[in-house]
């Protein structure tokens, strides 16, 4: 059994959300909700945030203590808001705003991991001080990426990638001060892991022991930086640019640096904790780390119909028709238009393909795409497209319709559809919600007025359809 030498042992840890198994759904929901909360006094903002948490499916009757714990975990770990008790003011952070706007969970987790470090404001002051006293300065995602990159370099020519288990990451990286304090060379960690494998040395794999390193590895999977296979984590070659950014970056929160080597009173750490959340939410470029949907699709479907020149196909949508990709704009809408063309073609209405068009946003008609019902009488179908990209499947949906969109849905009725395009690992489906106003009146979906309408529903009320990829021939 491998043990870190006692003089180097320090068990590093962080806040663990109670909703980790459902983290993507929770964060997407709360990002949208937190963007509705006005900035203001601490108690008022906290009460509004708690009320939003209680709206999450399954939380209606839970204890207030549980709701408070969720709020602490969401705010502390993921930086959804910046709370300054010294001036009694709280505001929603850019992290939440970017996620709510772009619906790109992989981008969100890349941002989260890019700034995440030990020590950080995500843990209690007592824990921060203990890490400072032990000399810890550690960015886990950067270090893991460096070890895996070195391992891959060592295996060049073998056709095999180097992977790491949660136990190996725990005992050879996270719990070893030679790494977290002394910045041990990644090559030395790789050599240690390989030596232990050669000698068939075991590790303590108890869930409580390996949970913190395991969390970071799992978050790196959600960020699409790693792939997990049979308990081992490997670099995702499709994310080479982002991985390189992690390795070469020197971004570091310096708010605690002045306390190293000194006697520190806990109260002195209040200021840096506020500064930490400003740092996490500072200078976020909404375009940085954004998911290339075409690349993601190609990665997820390497050996089926989606793999063949998928980027070229997307670029060729309407190449022989009236529109080009620059006219279509958003890729999610492009994919839906391609899907509609294939659907109409399969209905024997190939001569009607020119009637499937993207409607310019500037017209303000309340929908994105005009299509057909697929019947010989050429009845129109009006489609509002909502796209979400995630590693895991999102199991319920929350959609905002503008006043124009809600009004159009009420007017058009049975010919108005919301197409919820869900692109996740191993799945690319459309969830079709027909006549949302009627669905709301029949109590099949929830609607909250909010500068239009906030719709919340699960997949059971939708028609689930596999996304068709447009093929010219």
Report the 10 Å Cβ neighbour count for 22.
16
The pLDDT assigned to 45 comes to: 97
pLDDT: is 396 or 148 the higher one?
A: 148
Q: Average pLDDT, stretch 186-198?
A: 97
Distance CA 104, CA 102 (A): 5
The pLDDT assigned to 247 comes to: 93
The pLDDT assigned to 378 comes to: 86
Distance CA 52, CA 46 (A): 10
Domains of the chain: 14-135+271-291 (no CATH), 138-251 (1.10.10.2090), 294-466 (3.40.1350)
Q: How far is CA 107 from CA 6, 49, 79, 104, 317, in A?
A: 38, 23, 15, 5, 26
At residue 398 the predicted structure's pLDDT band, cuts being 50, 70 and 90, is confident
Q: Average pLDDT, stretch 12-22?
A: 91
- The CA-to-CA distance between both ends of the chain, in Å, stands at 60
The closest of 359, 384, 389 to 299, measured between CA atoms, is 389
Distant-in-sequence, close-in-space partners of 250: CB < 8 Å, separation ≥ 6: none
Distant-in-sequence, close-in-space partners of 132: CB < 8 Å, separation ≥ 6: 119, 256, 259, 260, 264
Tens of pLDDT, residue by residue over 39-90, are 999 999 999 999 999 999 889 889 999 999 999 999 999 999 999 888 999 9
Pairing between β-strand 416-424 and β-strand 427-434 as defined by DSSP bridges: antiparallel
Tens of pLDDT, residue by residue over 335-377, are 898 899 999 999 999 899 999 998 888 888 999 999 999 888 8
Which of the residue ranges 18-22, 171-175, 279-283, 300-304 has the most confident prediction, judged by mean pLDDT?
A: 171-175
The pLDDT assigned to 422 comes to: 85
Tens of pLDDT, residue by residue over 124-149, are 999 999 999 999 999 999 999 999 99
Tens of pLDDT, residue by residue over 86-106, are 899 999 999 999 998 888 899
At residue 309 the predicted structure's pLDDT band, cuts being 50, 70 and 90, is very low
At residue 459 the predicted structure's pLDDT band, cuts being 50, 70 and 90, is confident
The pLDDT assigned to 300 comes to: 60
**112 touches 289 (CB < 8 A):** no
The pLDDT assigned to 330 comes to: 65
pLDDT over threshold 60, residue 402: yes
pLDDT above 90 covers what percent of the chain? Answer: 67
Q: Which 3-state string (H, E, C) describes the chain?
A: CCCCCHHHECCCCCCCCCCHHHHHHHHHHHHHHHCCCCCECHHHHHHHHHHHHHCCCCCCCCCHHHHHHHHHHHHHHHCCEEEECCCCEEEECHHHHHHHHHCEHHHHHHHHHHHCCECCCCCCHHHHHHHHHCCCCECHHHHHHHHHHHHHHHCCCCCCCCCEEHHHHHHHHHCEHHHHCCCCCHHHHHHHHHHHHHCCCCCCCCHHHHHHHHHHHHHHHHCCCEEEECCEEEECHHHHHHHHHHHHCCCCCCCCHHHCCCCCCHHHHHHHHHHHHHHHCCCCCCCCCCCCHHHHHHHHCCCCCCCCCHHHHHHHCCCCCCCCHHHHCCHHHHHHHHHHHHHHHHCCCHHHHHHCEECCHHHCCCCCEEEECCCCCCCEEEEEEEEEECCCCCCEEEEEECHHHHHHHHHHHHHEEEEEEEEECCEEEEEEEECHHHHHHCCCCEEEECCCEEEEEEHHHCEEEECCCCCCC
Distance CA 114, CA 248 (A): 11
Tens of pLDDT, residue by residue over 101-130, are 888 899 999 999 999 999 999 999 999 999
The pLDDT assigned to 314 comes to: 47
- CB burial class (10 A; 0-12, 13-18, 19+) of residue 235? buried
Task: 337-342: list long-range contacts, CB under 8 Å, 24+ apart.
Answer: 337/369, 337/371, 337/470, 338/313, 338/314, 338/468, 338/469, 338/470, 339/430, 339/467, 339/468, 339/469, 339/470, 340/369, 340/371, 340/372, 340/381, 340/383, 341/470, 342/468, 342/469, 342/470, 342/471
Cis peptide before 119 (omega within 30 of 0): yes
Distant-in-sequence, close-in-space partners of 189: CB < 8 Å, separation ≥ 6: 147, 172, 173, 179
The pLDDT assigned to 324 comes to: 37
pLDDT over threshold 60, residue 327: no
């Amino acid at each position: 059994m491998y043990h870190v030498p006692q003089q180097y042992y320090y068990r590093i840890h962080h806040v663990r959300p109670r909703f980790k198994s459902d983290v993507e759904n929770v964060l997407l929901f709360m990002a949208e909700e937190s963007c509705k909360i006005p900035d203001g006094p601490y108690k008022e903002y906290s009460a509004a945030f708690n009320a939003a948490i209680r709206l999450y499916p399954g939380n209606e009757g839970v204890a207030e203590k549980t709701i408070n714990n969720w709020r602490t975990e969401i705010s502390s770990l993921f930086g959804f808001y910046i709370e300054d008790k010294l001036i009694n003011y709280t505001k929603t952070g850019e992290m939440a705003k970017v996620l709510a706007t772009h619906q790109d969970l992989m981008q969100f987790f890349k941002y989260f991991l890019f700034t995440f470090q030990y020590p950080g404001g995500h843990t209690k002051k007592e824990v921060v001080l203990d890490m400072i006293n032990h000399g810890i300065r550690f960015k886990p995602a950067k270090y893991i990426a460096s070890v895996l990159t070195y391992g891959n370099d060592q295996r060049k020519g073998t056709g095999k990638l180097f992977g790491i288990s949660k136990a190996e990451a725990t005992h050879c990286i996270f719990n070893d001060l030679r790494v977290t304090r002394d910045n041990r060379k990644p090559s030395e960690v790789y050599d240690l892991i390989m030596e232990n494998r050669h000698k068939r040395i075991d590790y303590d794999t108890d869930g409580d022991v390996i949970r913190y390193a395991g969390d970071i590895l799992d978050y790196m999977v959600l960020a699409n930086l790693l792939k997990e296979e049979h308990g081992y984590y490997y670099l995702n070659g499709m994310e080479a640019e982002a991985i390189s950014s992690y390795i070469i970056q020197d971004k570091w929160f310096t708010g605690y640096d002045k306390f190293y080597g000194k006697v520190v009173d806990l109260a002195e750490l209040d200021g840096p904790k506020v500064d930490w959340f400003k740092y996490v939410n500072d200078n976020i470029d909404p375009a940085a780390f954004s998911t290339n949907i075409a690349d993601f699709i190609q990665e997820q479907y390497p050996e089926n119909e989606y793999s063949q020149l998928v980027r070229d196909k997307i670029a060729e949508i309407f190449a022989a028709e009236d529109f080009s990709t620059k006219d279509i704009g958003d890729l999610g809408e492009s994919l839906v238009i391609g899907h509609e063309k294939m659907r109409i073609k399969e209905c024997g209405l190939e001569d009607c393909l020119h009637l499937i068009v993207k409607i310019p946003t500037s017209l303000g008609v309340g929908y994105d795409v005009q299509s057909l019902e697929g019947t010989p009488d050429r009845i129109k179908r009006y489609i509002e497209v909502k796209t979400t990209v995630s590693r895991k499947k999102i199991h319920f949906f929350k959609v905002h319709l503008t006043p124009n969109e809600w009004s159009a849905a009420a007017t058009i009725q049975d010919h108005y559809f919301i197409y919820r395009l869900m692109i996740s690992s191993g799945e690319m489906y459309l969830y079709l919600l027909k006549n949302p106003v009627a669905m709301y009146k029949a109590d099949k979906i929830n609607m909250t007025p909010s500068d239009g309408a906030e719709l919340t529903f699960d997949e059971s009320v939708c028609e689930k359809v596999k996304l068709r990829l447009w093929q010219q021939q």
